[in-house]
Amino acid sequence: MKTNHEIDYFIHGEEMQLVEIELDPNETAVAEAGSFMYMENGIQMETIFGDGSDKSAAGGIFGKLVGAGKRLLTGESLFMTAYTHTGIGKAKVAFASPYPGKIIPIDLSEYNGKIICQKDAFLCAAKGVSVGIEFQRKLGTGLFGGEGFIMQKLEGDGMAFCHAGGHIMKRTLQAGERLRVDTGCIVAYTQTINYNIEFIGGIKNKLFGGEGFFYATLDGPGEVWLQTLPISRLASRILSYGSVGGRKEEGGILGSFLNGD
C-alpha cells in the first residue's frame, strides 16, 4: 500500500511546459516556492517547513528544522508550499517550468523508492515524497563532478516531477555498461548507478577540447536521465551574448553601421 498521496497529472506544452495535477478531496501536492501557476476552487495553499513528508515530521519541530536546513545545502529555500484540495469532486493545480526544457514525471515506486538528481531539478511532488540531500562520498566526484558534494534525493512511493533544460533523454544501462557524460548534462539517476569522475587524457584534449578536464562516468545497471541544455551552459551563452564585444561580433560590419558605430 502506498504511503504517498496518489495524484493524477497532465503535462502541457513543448519548450516551456507546465504540469497540471488533479487532486481528489484531501489530497495534497507540494512544490518549490515560485513554481506555482494556477489553482482551481477548493484548493488551499499553505507554506510549510521542509517537504511535509513523514520523515520531516517524525522528529517534531527539531526534525522539521533539520530537514529545512538540509534544503539550504542543496540551494533551495527553507520553505515549500503545500496545495490541499479541501472541497468536493476534483480540482486542479498547475506548476510551470522555470526555463526552457522538459518536465520529467517519475513514479518513485518503480525505482525502489529513490532517485538522485541535480540540486535544482525538483519541481513538485505528491505529498509524502521526501526531498533530501545526497552526499558524494568520493572526493574526486565531489570536487570535479559539476554538482559538488551535494545532490538531491527524492524518496517515497509517489509521483515526483523534475525539470531540466533542453531535450531530455532517458538511458537504461545494463550491468557492466558504462556511459561517459558531460558533468552538467546529468539530470538524475537511480540508486543502482555508480557515479564517478574520469580525467580526460591528452594535452590537446585538455587545452583545446573546450569540454573541461573531467567527465562523469555512469556504470550500470540502472536508469539515467540526461539533458541537452544545462542551465549553466545557457547562462554562459546569455552572458556572452550580452557583452559589448559579443553584440558587435554578431552584427558584423552591417550591424556596426546600423548602430551608428
pLDDT at 77: 60
pLDDT at 86: 96
Q: Rounded distance, CA 56 to CA 67, Å?
A: 6
DSSP 76: -
125 CB burial (10 A radius; 0-12, 13-18, 19+)? buried
pLDDT at 151: 83
pLDDT at 152: 87
- Sheet of strand 122-126, all strands in order from the earlier edge strand to the far edge: 43-49, 79-85, 28-32, 122-126, 159-165, 101-107
Give the tens place of pLDDT for each residue, 99-155. 899 999 999 999 999 999 988 899 999 999 988 888 765 544 444 444 444 788 999
Distance of CA 32 to the CA centre of its chain: 11
Top-level class of domain 8-251: alpha beta
pLDDT at 206: 46
Per the structure block, which three cell numbers stand in for 237?
551563452
**What ranges do the domains of the chain cover?**
8-251
Q: Rounded distance, CA 219 to CA 223, Å?
A: 10
- Record the pTM: 0.79
Distances (CA, A) of 206 to 69, 77, 174, 201: 38, 37, 30, 7
pLDDT at 248: 47
Q: Please, what are the averages of pLDDT over each run of 10 residues along the chain (261 residues)?
A: 87 94 96 92 89 62 57 64 95 94 96 92 93 66 49 92 94 96 91 85 48 77 94 74 54 47 52
DSSP 7: -
82, 45 Cβ separation under 8 angstroms? yes
DSSP 158: S
162 residue type, one letter: C
First to last CA, the chain: 70
Q: Rounded distance, CA 44 to CA 172, Å?
A: 39
